[in-house]
Amino acid sequence: MTPRTGFLRSGGWVVVAALVVTTFAFAYHARQILRRHGLRAVGDGQHVESYGFPLEPCLVPRDRIVASGMPRDGLPALVEPSAWTLPQLEAAGDRYRKLLVPADRVIGVRLAGQARAYPLRLLVWHEVVNDTLAGVPIAVTYNPLCDSAVVFRRSLDGRVLTFGVSGLLYDSNLLMYDRQPEGGRSSLWSQLLFKAVAGPAAATGAALEVLPINVQSWADWRRDNPDTTVLAPDPRLAKRYSSDPYTSYFGSDTLRFPVQWLPSPARYPLKTPLVALGGPQGWTAFPFPALASLSEVPAGAPWAGLVGALSCRPGGNTVAVALDRLPPGTGVVFASYFAWYATHHGDTTWAEPPGAP
């Protein structure tokens, strides 16, 4: 009996069926959102060519770009959205407070003394937020399939880019696209590779700067940043925000879309969270379980200077990054173990406790 057959016979088929149902339900809601906004769906959810993106040149294996089941812009990226101060949040009443409870995770960004929180409960339904903080154009991105949070500087070569959700995936990870003036040719950008992978921008080797961030509970971020603002909800999606379409997905280690490079043997469950610190010269990945058990830093560890900026929160489900203790220019990414391995196994040092195999 093959491992796959054993998994299905042991009840894994229930998980697979739940993921398939979730995907189709999410795609249905995405198409409803497009209709409500008066937009026509581009992309049939199955064939990459139907999405209309130029795929030449393509810097990644073409057959690993797949359709997610959703059309282009089925998840509406936000552009210069409203943000609330804490008094405005309190004045919004009970309805919004139920959408942002103390335990909810947020992506926290601080630039030039200004802080802003982006609740993941909202980002599940947008995935990309084109915002400006402290005068800096940024793209705040979250991909639920990889539990990956990355914030980019979206100014490049004197232009400010605006990103949308393509409806396509590469190694089960979000592919964004740059919105061009009418008649222009958009490019596809990989969230976890941080660069254009297909289209005109790929031909020039365009890449985005990764900024330092936190992914924390709202209670922790608010305590540590009492001056923070918070992303305001899009009233058109108020009913959607209260639901989480990925509950069944995170209930197992089953992946919904193909991924070429997976750790073998896997040291942790595939969806184990980690935080990665680094930049173009290389990255250091800290899986949460390893960090929680790291009572001492191995002598000579190349990541010894980074670990002091990280601290586990009670329960081990979040890690706080002391952004002011990072070397200048250090990017911070949060992601699942499988997703980071798939995209960065060649340029990552893995932080492990002494004696780890």
Q: 75-117: per-residue pLDDT in tens?
A: 999 999 999 999 999 888 777 777 899 999 999 999 999 999 9
Same domain, 141 and 174: yes
Angle, CA 183 vertex, CA 165 and CA 57 arms, to 5°: 65
Same domain, 227 and 107: yes
Between 241 and 38, the higher pLDDT residue: 241
Q: Residue 346: inside a domain, yes or no?
A: yes
Q: Residue 189: inside a domain, yes or no?
A: yes
Share of residues in the chain with pLDDT > 90 (%):
72
Which pLDDT tens digit goes with each residue over 313-342?
Answer: 766 678 999 999 999 999 999 999 999 999
Domain boundary among 241, 260, 279: 260
Which pLDDT tens digit goes with each residue over 288-314?
Answer: 999 888 877 877 788 988 998 999 876
Q: Residue 65: inside a domain, yes or no?
A: yes
Judge whether residue 8 has pLDDT over 70.
no
Alpha-carbon span 170 to 64, nearest angstrom: 6
Same domain, 300 and 193: no
- Binned at pLDDT 50, 70 and 90, residue 25 comes out as low
Other beta carbons within 10 angstroms of residue 258's beta carbon come to 11
Burial of 142 (0-12, 13-18, 19+ CB in 10 A): buried
Same domain, 81 and 225: yes
Q: Which domain holds residue 59?
A: 1-260
Q: Residue 105: inside a domain, yes or no?
A: yes
What's the average model confidence in pLDDT over 216-233?
96
Same domain, 275 and 233: no
What's the average model confidence in pLDDT over 24-50?
71
Same domain, 82 and 210: yes
Which pLDDT tens digit goes with each residue over 162-207?
Answer: 999 999 999 999 999 999 987 789 999 999 999 999 999 999 999 9
- Binned at pLDDT 50, 70 and 90, residue 5 comes out as very low
Judge whether residue 15 has pLDDT over 50.
no
Judge whether residue 125 has pLDDT over 70.
yes
Buried/exposed code over 181-197 (b: 16+ C-beta within 10 A; e: otherwise):
eeeeebbbbbbbbbbbb
Write out the chain in H/E/C secondary structure. Answer: CCHHHHHHHHHHHHHHHHHHHHHHHHHHHHHHHHHHCCCCCECCCCCHHHHCCCCCCECCCHHHEEECCCCECCCCCEECCCEECHHHHHHCCHHHHCCCCCCCEEEEEEECCEEEEEEHHHHCCCCEEEEEECCEEEEEEEECCCCEEEEEECEECCEECCEEEEEEEECCEEEEEECCCCCCCCCEEECCCCEEEECHHHHCCCECEECCCEEEEHHHHHHHCCCCEEECCCHHHHHHHCCCCCCCHHHCCCCCCCCCCCCCCCCCCCCCEEEEEEECCEEEEEEHHHHHCCCCCCCCCCCHHHHCCEEECCCCCCEEECHHHCCCCCEEEEEEHHHHHHHHCCCEEECCCCCCC
Angle, CA 254 vertex, CA 44 and CA 244 arms, to 5°: 65
Judge whether residue 2 has pLDDT over 50.
no
Same domain, 7 and 136: yes
Count up the domains in the chain and report the number: 2
Q: In the β-sheet with 229-231, what is the strand arrangement from edge to edge? A: 83-84, 229-231, 114-119, 105-111, 214-217, 319-321, 310-312
Domain boundary among 260, 282, 311: 260
Judge whether residue 18 has pLDDT over 80.
no
pTM of the full predicted structure? 0.89
Q: Residue 357: inside a domain, yes or no?
A: no
Same domain, 184 and 120: yes
Alpha-carbon span 229 to 119, nearest angstrom: 11
Same domain, 230 and 292: no
Q: Residue 194: inside a domain, yes or no?
A: yes
Q: Residue 70: inside a domain, yes or no?
A: yes
Which pLDDT tens digit goes with each residue over 129-150?
Answer: 999 999 999 999 999 999 999 9
- Binned at pLDDT 50, 70 and 90, residue 33 comes out as low
Name the range with the highest mean pLDDT among 3-7, 36-40, 290-294: 290-294
Domain boundary among 203, 227, 260: 260
Residue 305: phi and psi, rounded to 5, are -75, -10
Which pLDDT score is estimated for 331?
A: 97
Which amino acid does the sequence have at 137? P
Q: Residue 279: inside a domain, yes or no?
A: yes
Same domain, 37 and 153: yes
Same domain, 135 and 52: yes
Judge whether residue 34 has pLDDT over 90.
no
Same domain, 123 and 144: yes
